[in-house]
Amino acid sequence: MKIISNFATIMHIEKKNMKKVIYMWVVCVLLMSSCTTSKDITYLQNVDELTPTTLSEVAGIPDQVVMPGDLLDITVMATDRTAVQPFNRRVVDYTRAVGTALNSDELNFYLVDNNGYIDMPVLGRIYVQGMTKSQLEEYVRGQIHPKYIHEMPAVTVRFENFRISVLGDVKSPDTYVIPNERVNILEAIALAGDLNITGRRDNVLLVRTNADGSRTTVRLNLKDKDLILSPYFYLQQNDVIYVEPNNSKASTATVVPPTASLAISITGAAISAASLIMTILNYSK
Rg (CA), the chain: 31
189 and 53 within one domain: yes
Q: What whole-number distance in Å separates Cα of residue 152 and Cα of residue 80?
A: 11
The answer to whether residue 189 sits within a structural domain is yes
Summarize pLDDT for 68-113 with one digit per residue, the tens. 999 999 999 999 999 999 999 865 444 444 444 444 455 689 999 9
Measured CA to CA, the distance from residue 211 to residue 112 in angstroms comes to 11
CATH code: domain of residue 182: 3.10.560.10
Q: Does the residue 200 lie in any domain?
A: yes
Residue 138 domain-assigned (yes or no): yes
Residue 83 lies in a domain: yes
> Which parts of 192-257 fold into alpha helices (H)?
247-252
Number of domains in the chain: 2
Domain that holds residue 177: 49-60+162-249
For residues 194 and 241, membership in a common domain is answered with yes
Burial class of residue 56, CB neighbours in 10 A (0-12, 13-18, 19+)? exposed
The CATH number of the domain holding residue 76 is 3.30.1950.10
pTM here is: 0.70
* Beta carbons of 241 and 167 less than 8 angstroms apart: yes
Residue 104 shares a structural domain with residue 80: yes
Spatial strand order of the sheet with 163-168 comes to: 174-177, 163-168, 240-243, 204-209, 215-220
Residues of the chain with pLDDT under 70: 1-38, 90-107, 253-285
The DSSP letter of residue 229 is G
Over the stretch 121-147, which tens digit does the pLDDT of each residue have? Answer: 999 999 999 999 999 999 999 999 999
